Copies of this chain bind each other. A is one copy, B any other.
């Protein structure tokens, strides 16, 4: 599955909706046993949640958007398919979550590409289920430090702390992803799926149990004037940087 939503593959409501529909189709297609996620946009895997969806919109819109973010993660993290992230560009915040939710992460070894849950840098807090997913990959200590600092790790650093499993030169990425996929598909589906579910169930159940509460938290947080102001300033900065 190639993300192609220029300029930066941000996770807008449209993107998330389409993502979930595509994933469900593949999930129900018995011929499809695995999926590789990569980007068709140069230098960016995914820039994360679309800030325009969180800025100056109605409460209803925030609720709808957040439910779509949750849905994306619930489907991806619990997918019965083998999921591999072939990270061919930078991947902050929600983009990092997509990678963290896969079974395996391969990243282009370019030190200009970075990845991480950098929410704290924007003055916001990663939701508990972003955190749980992160802890399951890198452990409690690395997650605590990285989340508090809102760290964006360069590819080599990301590999060193365990955020990605492997680094490869850009031209070898697809080949490597296919090889890893073949290795994972060599296992009997049923046993692999039950094993994956056993490993991830506790964290998935936690969001399912607190889903509405999590939406309300998001709305009340994002509706604060101070947060809206931070996001507007951040968007201004992004616009200026472009021009």
Instruction: Using CB atoms and an 8 Å cutoff, list the residues of chain A in contact with chain B.
Output: 103-104, 119-126, 128, 131, 135-141, 143-145, 147-150, 162, 165, 183-184, 187-188, 190-192, 194-196, 198-200, 226, 230
Contact = CB atoms under 8 A, between A and B. Distances in A.
Nearest to A103: B148
A123 B103 CA distance: 19
Contact of A128 (B147, B188, B198, B230): B198
Contact of A140 (B139, B144, B145, B188): B139
Q: Which 10 A-B pairs have the closest CB atoms?
A: A123-B188, A120-B191, A144-B199, A125-B194, A136-B140, A123-B191, A147-B195, A148-B195, A137-B141, A120-B187
Given A195-B120, A199-B144, A187 B149 contact: yes
Contacts of A138: 141
A149 B82 CA distance: 11
Contact of A191 (B125, B136, B162, B198): B125
B124 A191 contact: yes
B103 A183 contact: no
A128 B150 CA distance: 30
B144 A136 contact: yes
A141 B162 contact: yes
7 contacts: A119-B191, A120-B188, A120-B191, A143-B199, A147-B195, A150-B187, A150-B191
A228 B40 CA distance: 45
A199 B123 contact: no
A145 B190 contact: no
B148 A196 contact: yes
B120 A192 contact: yes
B198 A123 contact: no
Interface centre among A119, A131, A144 (most CB of B within 10 A): A144
Contacts of A126: 195, 198
